[in-house]
Amino acid sequence: MALRFFNTLTRQIEDFAPLEAGRVRMYTCGPTVYNFAHIGNFRAYVFEDLLQRHLEFRGLRVERVMNLTDVDDKTIRGCRAAGIPLAEFTLPFKKAFFEDLDSLRIKRADHFPEATAADHIARMISMISTLMEKGHAYRADDGSVYFRIHSFPSYGRLAHIVLDELKPGARVSSDEYEKENVGDFALWKAHDEGDGDVWWESPWGRGRPGWHIECSAMATGILGPQLDIHCGGEDNIFPHHEAEIAQTESVTGLPFAKLWMHCKHLQVEGTKMAKSAGNFFTLRDLVEDKGWSGREVRYALISVKYREPLNFTFEGLGGARSALLRIDQWTARLIETAAGSPAGDLPEITALEGFGTALDDDLNISAGLAAVFDVIRETNRRLDAGNLASAEAAALLLWLAGVQSVLHLEPEPEAVPGVVTELLARRVAARNAKDWKASDALRDEIASLGWTVKDTKEGQKLIRKN
């Protein structure tokens, strides 16, 4: 089956074909680094990771950009409140973001451009100048430069907004606003007292870019004027992505992104996540304070299809833990049965095809995981009956490697504690000296710490006891 995805722009499921055969240019809106990202943000990043990995599983080469918004209303408010320079304020949140990506096993994008980099600021200014020349932008009496939305006839197409009733000239200067306040939006914000020392020189005087032009400049600067896929959370649709389309296409005269994909919001225990409701979680809260692993959180975030709202619950995390245990135990059983044998033909199980085809169909992960568990159930039945050949088990392990290249839910290799490594070294010495009594005593001591030693041709091997 061909790859098919739901396009927010057309509200339809469409066959996917990149502009250039075999290569996908993908832009994903990244974090605003004014705080630690919360699990709602990470739902979007995990969905984008699944999308990229599945495209790669299907043989496409993906070039991905994820930007860091390190200047906007929120970051400026944050650094002013903290009384430190903007770059100093955002740095720890940038660092934390990369640690969180690793913890959730999200593949690094090819590029992580930062909005405040000199070349990107220059590109933003150049795009705004072009918009001024073409009559799409104007400088208002407050000194800021605004995009004239009535100059772009399809404005509102992505978010389904009808502009007819809107009187021309209505303006909005903040980066984020509701649909009721739709109006000409800020491309360049004239410096004011609230910005402190955050400003750049421009043809319109000192100021700073609006949030939306940042993404247009970084996306086209790195990937070119046209993208295959642009992603984000559904809260990015308006005004952010609507604005990105209007600005970019007014500059380039070309359709900006072919496919717009947005994941639905996340709730916690059935209600909107809010600090005041006590249900607001960063990844750190779950991993460091509550003892869940990044892998378990990844499973919980990945396992609901991106176009369904996700209700994140602790019961769901418990479910993720058991599901992972089931996959781990099955994998261990296959390894034991395969016993190093070369892979033969796969056993005839219809669900084996199901994982890939489910993901081809608009990333239907629920059906994909159901297929994986069907395969587990069926092969466990055969294993119980002594009915699975070692060559078949080896073939299933290869199939699983393909699945894991998309899901990336492999068990964490467990770190061996220093004290065990030390006992192991002493045991090697004892065995070299043919002191079998000491060797056995050391083996028992290691066992009491939860590790089994196996003597193999390649030397001693440590296995964690269950």
What residue ranges bind Zn ion (CB under 5 A)?
29, 215
Q: How far is the CB of 181 from Zn ion (least distance, A)?
A: 19
Nearer to Zn ion, 93 or 281 (CB): 93
Tell me how many degrees the CA angle 99-105-107 measures, rounded to the nearest 5: 95
Asked if 184 and 148 count as a contact pair (C-beta separation under 8 A), the reply is yes
- Cα 75 to Cα 91, 119, 146, 188: the distances in Å are 11, 20, 21, 16
Please, what is the minimum distance in Å from the beta carbon of residue 273 to Zn ion? 21
Structure tokens at 133: 């020349």
Residue with Cβ nearer Zn ion (78 or 232): 232
**By C-beta, is 241 or 298 nearer to Zn ion?**
241
Q: Cα 404 vs. chain centroid, distance in angstroms?
A: 16
Toward Zn ion, which CB reaches closer, 29 or 227? 29
DSSP code of 457? T
Kindly report the three-state secondary structure assignment for every residue of 282-317. Answer: EHHHHHHHCCCCHHHHHHHHHCCCCCCCEEECHHHH
Smallest gap from residue 230 Cβ to Zn ion (A): 8
Residues sharing a CB contact under 8 Å with residue 8, sequence separation 6 or more, in sequence order: 158, 237, 260, 261, 262
Closest separation in Å from C-beta 240 to Zn ion = 5
CB of 74 to Zn ion, least distance (A): 13
Structure tokens at 336: 């034991």
Minimum distance between the CB of residue 69 and Zn ion, rounded to whole angstroms?
7
How is residue 82 written in tokens? 């903290």
For residues 272, 289, 93 and 42, what is the CA-based torsion angle, rounded to 10 degrees?
-40
Residue placing its CB nearer to Zn ion in the complex, 24 or 215: 215
Report the C-alpha gap between 184 and 237 in whole angstroms.
16
Q: CB 106 → Zn ion: shortest distance, Å?
A: 17
Name the strand (E) or helix (H) holding 415.
Answer: none
Q: Indicate the residue among 204 and 260 with the shorter CB distance to Zn ion.
A: 260
**Measured from the CB of residue 248, what is the shortest distance to Zn ion in angstroms?**
11
- Alpha carbon 21 to its chain centroid, in Å, reads 24
CA trace torsion 112, 267, 371, 3 (10° rounding)? -50
By beta-carbon proximity to Zn ion, the closer residue of 115 and 363 is 115
In DSSP terms, which residues pair with 231 in a beta bridge?
Answer: 28, 261
